[in-house]
Structure 1
């Protein structure tokens, strides 16, 4: 990089002050949080991540130095929001992954559902004898949120999950997106996003384990923020 293209010392200092301000905003949002998925905390986290990344880049360009912090998922971050300021409609996109870890428990639950249907005079073709049939009965009987809260009862183990809230000027036409519900999402219309994954817990465990910490002062430690799953 040429000297003309390098940031000034004042620009680096201003970026450092922006990180300090973002830290204060993030702490204040955490202290006032209204629940586990408080959007104010999520927004403050993203602002802190952006400020830290900008400071790191300027610091390197000016002084050939780096910070000891790593922002997880920065390469996959959503672009800045460019949707309507006052949206008239919204869509909530949810994906939850599960593993069938106890098929017999799942099949037993499906048989209970069939038995209850028979008692109510709603007997139909038996589907509880196969795993895919049992899953169909399960998700036909219970709301997805109830399955999420009771997944262990149904022989399931939680995997990754994500929730996206997108904004729009007008609601979609009836039946417009049913055949491909997740294919037309504009990342710039995403108001907020919440991700849950075991990989975040693994990263935190790696950092907290003293045996895994790199004590070489010449190497970056790569500390992960504790809010990595936001």
Structure 2
């Protein structure tokens, strides 16, 4: 970036003052809050997050320095509207696979089924039955680490940590577990995809 395009020292100072003001407003909102879901606290939090992000960006562009704090934000850019100190949270995971070797998948399921006290070969027959046997026997994390053994090929995966005001009641969401996730409650997202590898390769090629 050229010197002409850099922010001025006055602009950086103004951004710092905006952070101070936002901090005062956030503290005042917290002191006056009427409950964990007080909208005034959420608004003050988002204002502070925006001010901090602006200051951090200008500070880096002008002085090549960064701040020591980070405001949690999901990758899709939706502002966080949940509690600042969540007392409960949900972990939502999606992992995609392709059945690369159906015969291997079925064979592994048949081996598992053979050790049952009352094995039913029909349970492990075909891809659909084999998946039921294997996921009934192994934890999803174990399958994720051993997917090649089961004749599978990895696809995209994502993990969301979503804040909650209170723990859910037993059985409350089992009928529709993924229907009521509010993107504004998502604290963190962790994603794996081959598209990221392609982007990194393109960036590396561009630097050569």
TM-score w.r.t. the length of structure 1 is 0.60
Q: Which residue of 2 aligns with 1:21?
A: 65
Q: Which runs of 5+ in 2 are unaligned?
A: 1-6, 16-56
Once residues 154 and 77 of structure 2 are traced to their aligned partners in structure 1, the CA distance between those partners, rounded to angstroms, is 24
Higher helix share: 2
How is 1:79-228 mapped onto 2 (pairs within 5 angstroms)? 79=79, 81-117=80-116, 121-124=117-120, 126-209=122-205, 213=206
Which range moves more in the overlay, 84-93 or 102-111? 84-93
Q: Please state how far the C-alpha of 1:176 moved relative to its aligned partner.
A: 1.5
Aligned-residue RMSD, C-alpha: 2.8
Once residues 102 and 164 of structure 1 are traced to their aligned partners in structure 2, the CA distance between those partners, rounded to angstroms, is 30
Q: May I ask how many residue pairs the two structures share in their alignment?
A: 157
Preserved CA contact (<8 Å) 2:113 2:121: no
Once residues 151 and 177 of structure 2 are traced to their aligned partners in structure 1, the CA distance between those partners, rounded to angstroms, is 28
Q: Which residue of 1 aligns with 2:39?
A: none
Q: Which runs of 5+ in 1 are unaligned?
A: 1-7, 26-39, 48-72, 216-230
Once residues 144 and 189 of structure 2 are traced to their aligned partners in structure 1, the CA distance between those partners, rounded to angstroms, is 18
The Cα offsets for residues 85-107 of structure 1, whole Å up to 9 and x where unpaired, read as 22221111011001110111101
The Cα offsets for residues 152-186 of structure 1, whole Å up to 9 and x where unpaired, read as 00001111111111111211122121122112111
Preserved CA contact (<8 Å) 1:114 1:126: no
Once residues 104 and 78 of structure 2 are traced to their aligned partners in structure 1, the CA distance between those partners, rounded to angstroms, is 39
Preserved CA contact (<8 Å) 2:88 2:166: yes
